[in-house]
């Protein structure tokens, strides 16, 4: 908590220092909430330019942190703290609301709480570790972790760079994983500050501002952001409310505003190039509304615009890769093939749950929703209907106030959301637009509530009823989001990184000797790759994002490990290495000392009927499809499959079963299973990776077995073991 508060205060003072030195004058009660997004932009631009120029984040933070401290001192030295006597509750709100949303992180330890098993989080952390240790573009002969990260060199990188930048505050200056929780908490603080900023300058009533900021953050869509590990979105959502507030207070005669405007736009493009057109388009509507409202000569505005564009051209020069990435993402998102994120929010595509999902309430059956589906659906639907009425009243009030630029931005983004849902059937794309628009949706709800609360002035007898009803709506909204937060936390398969971090202990056992990693669980595998980044490891199988077809060529160029010299193996199963002795175990991992320099290891079994246990031993049924077994061998030779084979119940009138073994080297063996019992199958292998297929040419004669199983159960295989054998043992 102390580090979080330090980072928040530091970003406020640094932003204040930048405003002072740039000559932009903003009243302190307002500028204090604008300052964090300015600090974010300052760090983003320096990291963006530095990383693009070939510097590591480890080198850059030696420059950026001292600059930050100097700017914070300037901000503190010239600050006017008299406002704090009246405005301290607002400052407390922007500090506390992110903590409430991330309560599980702070309760379980912000440096160790995993938060979500979504692979994106690991990917950001892996790339952050790469940028911390290597110049962007380094590739070939690196650790598997760095080689994975190298394939990300042509995409946005600021979120990952900030993980390395913040690592120095997390207790380990060389571990980006420990900085991930702090990064998310700080980005939410920046967002809450931007929402407070726009709420203040737009004249929201003082007693409604806490509900506005609370609604912006403590909502289902921000919970989804945390659950999806969308680090780039966490950075991008603060820019549009910042532009909305700046357009209200800017004085075009003061040309120094050009540094703030250009800095925000450049930082936005660095953070999230694909979303920048939506944000910049909304910002243009805000400023056009301001120009029309003022009715003053255009010359000051044109000069300000020209200078801003000039700085943008200079600042965008090194963003070539990000612009190409923007084009690729746009094609992928609007294309008919595999799209980023897929349909991660299916409730948006169902007519019965569309309205509740638009307001961030996840339908029953999701990991967010309690197991009270009927009551949950009723409450979500009722509350969503009420919020929609308030939003319509709020939009009407915006037009009445002649805030048509604000209203147009909200409506355009909402129309884009509906297009993604109806036209593209792409819920993940809709989610991204809802996130950008959420601060505005919350704003019009508060305006609608304000309009309802103003009615008792004309009808005093309804004052208590309307006020009480409004409070009930807001309390129900926050309670239901709190319920989603609790249920999401309870549904997590892993909460702490500490069990996975135990794998780093094996460094002291194996020292610098190579180790074979045959960890099958995706989460355990990726964290083993992360924490063993300084150990020579050989991955028997690529898992999670490392197994994607476009990533595999990068993984294959990792530092080569001679498998014939491997004497240690890391697994996540006690049964994985029978030809060895157990040296260490911790978390989900087991470290084995191989007894022989000759070994063969099954790395993965893929079976259409699944994998089971029978009598404490591994078991699977061979049916209609192919059973694929991947092997890793230290040498060319002969291998033996030994297992107990069982005649399956799907062919009751046949006394035997036919089994065929095929290898990727073209070898084929036909085996007849005539009775239940152990049997050996001999086949050749080559040094390195091998693939074996088992299948039965028989066909089931019954579709349902006696116990109601509809799977084709032809041959059971229990206690499968595969090992190298000497020729005289055949």
SS3 560: coil
SS3 labels along 93-160: HHHHHHHHHCHHHHHHCCCCECCCCCHHHHHHHHHHHHHHHCCCCCCCCCCHHHHHHHCCCCCCCHHH
CATH code, 601-729: 2.60.120.260
Q: Is the pLDDT of residue 89 over 90?
A: no
Cα separation of 268 and 237, whole Å?
10
According to the per-residue pLDDT averaged within each range, which of 63-77, 482-496, 596-610 is highest? 63-77
pTM: 0.87
Q: 654 φ, ψ to 5°?
A: -115, 130
pLDDT of residue 319: 57
Q: How far apart are CA 246 and CA 269, in angstroms?
A: 18
Helix (H, G, I), strand (E, B) or coil at 466: helix
Find the mean pLDDT for residues 477-504: 87
Q: Where are the domains of the chain?
A: 2-490, 498-597, 601-729
pLDDT band (50, 70, 90) for residue 499: very high
Least confident of 168-172, 354-358, 387-391, 719-723: 168-172
Contact yes or no for 79/27 (Cβ under 8 A): no
Burial class (CB in 10 A: 0-12, 13-18, 19+), 175: buried
Instruction: Summarize pLDDT for 397-424 with one digit per residue, the tens.
Output: 999 988 899 999 999 999 999 999 998 8
Q: What does each C-alpha distance from 80 to 20, 30, 628 come to in angstroms?
A: 12, 12, 70
The secondary structure of 21-78 as a DSSP string is HHT----HHHHHHHHHHHHHHHHHHHHHHHHHTT--HHHHHHHHHHHHHHHHHHHHHT
Say how many residues make up the chain. 730
Q: ∠389-395-396 over CA atoms, to 5°? A: 90
Choice among 39-48, 446-455, 688-697 with the minimum mean pLDDT:
446-455
Nearest-CA neighbor of 682 among 630, 637, 628, 623? Answer: 637
* Residues above pLDDT 90, as percent of the chain: 45
User: Given 3-state DSSP classes, what are the helix, strand and coil percentages for the chain, each rounded to the nearest 5?
Assistant: 55, 15, 30
Give every CB contact of residue 441 below 8 A, 6+ residues apart in sequence: 391, 410, 414, 434
- Per the CB < 8 A criterion, the answer to whether 659 and 673 are in contact is yes
What is the model's pLDDT at position 729?
43
Cβ-proximal residues to 614 (8 Å cutoff; 6+ apart), any chain? 716, 718
pLDDT at residue 572 in the model: 87
Per-residue pLDDT tens for 591-622? 988 877 778 888 888 899 988 888 888 899 99
Higher pLDDT, 334 or 276: 276
Q: Comparing 539 with 575, which gets the higher pLDDT?
A: 539
**457-477 b/e with 16+ CB inside 10 Å = b?**
eeeeeeeeebeeebeebbeeb
Tens of pLDDT along 615-627?
888 899 998 889 9
Average pLDDT for residues 411-439, to the nearest whole number? 92
For 461-487, what is the mean pLDDT? 79
- Using CB atoms within 10 Å of the CB of residue 640, give its burial: 0 to 12 exposed, 13 to 18 middle, 19+ buried: middle
In what helix (H) or strand (E) does residue 585 lie, and over which residues does it extend? strand 580-586
Contacts for 601 with CB less than 8 Å, ≥ 6 apart: 516, 518, 540, 569, 576, 577, 631, 632, 633
Quote the distance between the C-alpha of residue 722 and its chain's center. Answer: 39
* The pLDDT of residue 730 is above 50: no
Give the best-scoring range by mean pLDDT among 253-262, 360-369, 403-412: 403-412
Residue 3 CB partners (closer than 8 Å, separation 6+) = 110, 169, 170, 182
CA–CA dist 354, 350 (Å, integer)? 6
* pLDDT, tens only, 177-233: 999 999 999 999 999 999 999 999 988 888 889 999 999 998 889 998 998 889 999
What's residue 183's pLDDT? 94
If you average pLDDT over residues 374-391, what whole number do you get?
Answer: 89
Q: Dmax of the chain from CA atoms?
A: 102
Which whole number is the average pLDDT over 308-324?
66
Contact of 21 with 74, CB cutoff 8 Å: yes
* pLDDT above 70 coverage of the chain, percent: 92
Name the pLDDT band for 372 (thresholds 50, 70, 90). low
Contact between 579 and 516 under an 8 Å Cβ cutoff? The reply is: no
Residue 728: band (very low, low, confident or very high) from pLDDT cuts 50, 70, 90: low
Cα–Cα distance measured from residue 367 to residue 492, given in angstroms and rounded to the nearest whole number: 9
**What is the arithmetic mean of pLDDT over 307-328?**
66
Q: What is the mean pLDDT of residues 679-705?
A: 89
């Amino acid at each position: 908590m102390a580090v979080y508060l330090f980072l928040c205060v530091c970003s406020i003072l640094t932003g204040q220092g930048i405003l002072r030195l740039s000559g932009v004058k903003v009243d302190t009660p307002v500028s204090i909430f604008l300052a964090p997004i300015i600090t974010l932009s300052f760090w983003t631009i320096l990291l963006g330019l530095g990383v693009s120029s070939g510097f590591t984040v480890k080198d850059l933070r030696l420059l950026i942190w001292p600059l930050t401290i100097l700017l914070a001192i300037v901000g503190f030295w010239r600050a006017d703290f008299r406002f704090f006597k009246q405005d301290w509750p607002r400052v407390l709100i922007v500090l506390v609301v992110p903590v409430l949303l991330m309560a599980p992180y702070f309760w379980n330890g912000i440096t160790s709480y995993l938060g979500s098993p979504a692979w994106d989080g690991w990917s950001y952390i892996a790339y952050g570790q790469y940028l911390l240790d290597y110049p962007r573009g380094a590739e070939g002969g690196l650790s598997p972790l760095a080689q994975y990260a190298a394939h990300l060199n042509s995409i946005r990188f600021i979120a990952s760079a900030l993980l390395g930048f913040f690592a120095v505050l997390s207790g380990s200056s060389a571990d980006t994983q420990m900085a991930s929780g702090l990064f998310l908490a700080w980005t939410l603080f920046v967002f809450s500050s931007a929402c407070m900023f726009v709420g203040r300058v737009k004249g929201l009533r003082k007693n409604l501002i806490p509900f506005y900021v609370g609604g912006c953050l403590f909502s289902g869509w921000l919970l989804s952001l945390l659950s999806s590990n969308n680090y780039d979105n966490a950075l991008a959502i603060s820019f549009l409310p910042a532009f909305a507030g700046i357009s209200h207070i800017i004085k075009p005669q003061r040309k120094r505003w050009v540094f703030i405007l250009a800095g925000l736009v450049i930082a936005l493009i660095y953070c999230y190039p694909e979303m920048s057109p939506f944000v910049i388009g909304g910002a243009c509507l805000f400023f056009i509304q301001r120009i029309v409202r003022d009715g003053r000569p255009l010359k000051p505005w044109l000069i300000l615009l020209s200078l801003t564009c000039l700085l943008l051209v200079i600042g965008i020069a090194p963003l070539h890769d990000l612009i190409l990435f923007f084009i690729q993402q746009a094609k992928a998102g609007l294309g008919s093939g595999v799209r980023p994120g897929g349909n991660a929010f299916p409730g948006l595509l169902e007519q019965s749950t569309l309205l509740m999902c638009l307001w961030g309430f996840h339908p029953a059956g999701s990991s967010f929703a309690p197991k009270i589906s009927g009551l949950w659906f009723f409450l979500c639907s009722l509350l969503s209907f009420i919020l929609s009425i308030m939003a319509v009243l709020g939009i009407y009030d915006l037009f009445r106030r002649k805030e048509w630029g604000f209203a147009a931005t909200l409506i355009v983004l909402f129309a884009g959301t509906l297009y993604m849902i109806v036209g593209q059937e792409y819920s993940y794309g809709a989610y991204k637009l809802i996130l950008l628009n959420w601060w505005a949706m919350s704003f019009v709800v508060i305006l609608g509530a304000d309009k309802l609360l103003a009615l008792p002035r004309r009808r005093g007898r309804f004052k208590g009823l309307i006020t009480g009803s409004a409070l009930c709506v807001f309390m129900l909204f926050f309670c239901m989001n709190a319920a989603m937060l609790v249920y999401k936390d309870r549904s997590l398969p892993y909460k702490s990184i500490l069990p996975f971090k135990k794998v780093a202990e094996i460094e002291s056992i194996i020292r610098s000797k190579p180790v074979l990693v045959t960890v099958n669980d995706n989460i355990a595998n990726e964290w083993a790759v992360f924490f063993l980044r300084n150990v020579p490891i050989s991955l028997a199988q690529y898992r999670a994002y490392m197994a994607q077809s476009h990533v595999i060529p990068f993984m294959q160029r990792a530092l080569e490990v001679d498998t014939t010299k491997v004497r240690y193996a890391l697994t996540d199963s006690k049964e994985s290495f029978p030809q060895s002795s157990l040296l260490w175990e911790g978390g989900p991992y087991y470290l084995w000392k191989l007894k022989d320099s000759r070994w063969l290891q099954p790395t993965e079994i893929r079976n259409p009927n699944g994998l089971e246990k029978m009598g404490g031993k591994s078991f699977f049924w061979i049916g209609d499809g192919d059973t694929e077994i991947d092997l890793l061998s230290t040498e060319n030779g002969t291998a033996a499959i030994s297992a107990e084979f069982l005649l399956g119940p799907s062919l009751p009138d046949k006394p035997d079963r036919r089994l065929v073994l095929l290898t990727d080297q073209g070898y084929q063996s036909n085996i007849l299973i005539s009775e239940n019992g152990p049997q050996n199958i001999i086949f050749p292998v080559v040094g390195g990776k091998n693939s074996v297929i088992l299948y039965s040419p028989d066909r089931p004669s019954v579709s349902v077995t006696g116990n109601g199983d509809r799977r084709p159960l032809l041959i059971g295989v229990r206690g499968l073991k595969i090992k190298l054998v000497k020729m005289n043992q055949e």
